[in-house]
Amino acid sequence: MQKITLFSLLLLAVSPGFALSRFSTHEFSINGFRNPSIGAEYRYKHLSVHAGYYTTAFESGVFTNFVKTGATLWFLPVGKKENPSSFYSSLSYARGLTREYKDKNAMIGEVGFRWMVWRGLNLRIGVAALASSGQSLKINPTPGISYSFFSKRKK
C-alpha cells in the first residue's frame, strides 16, 4: 500500500512538466467497461475524477465487485489529433461489494495508456495494483472502453 501511494505521489510531482497544454480544458466521459470503472469521469486540463462500479477477476471466471472513486493524472500526450492519446496514472478508493472484499476498503493504483480511436471513442489498457488490509496485493490488467465529450479549445 505504501509503495502504491509513494509511486502515485512521485508521478503527481513529476508529471506536470510533460506538455500538458495539448489537452482540452474540459472532458466528460461515459465509461462503459472496467477502466477506470463503469461510470462517469470528468477531466479539467490534466486531472480527472471518476466514480462507478468496478468488477475484476483475480482468478479465471470468478469476479469481485467494488464501488470505486478516484483521481487520474494525464500526461505525455501522443499524436497530432485535437484530443490526443496519452498516458495516465491514477489512485482510487474502492469499497468491496462481494466475495472476500465485501464491506472492506481498498486502494487501487494504476498506470496505463489511452488511445483516442475516433472522435470521442477511446480504449484504455493499464495495469492496476489493488491493496486491502488482510489481503495479498493483487496485480491485474485493466482494459477499458469509453466515449468522451470535449469542450472546444479557444484559439
pLDDT of the chain along its 155 residues, tens only? 555 554 554 454 444 545 557 899 999 999 999 899 999 999 999 999 999 999 999 999 999 999 999 999 999 999 988 899 999 999 999 999 999 999 999 999 999 999 999 999 999 999 999 999 999 999 999 999 999 999 876 55
How many helices (H) and strands (E) the chain has is answered by 1, 9
Q: Show me where the domains of the chain are located.
A: 2-20+28-148
What number does CATH give the domain 2-20+28-148? 2.40.160
Cell 488490509, located at residue: 133
Listed in sequence order, the residues at least 6 apart from 120 whose beta carbon sits closer than 8 Å to its beta carbon are 29, 83, 147, 148, 149, 150
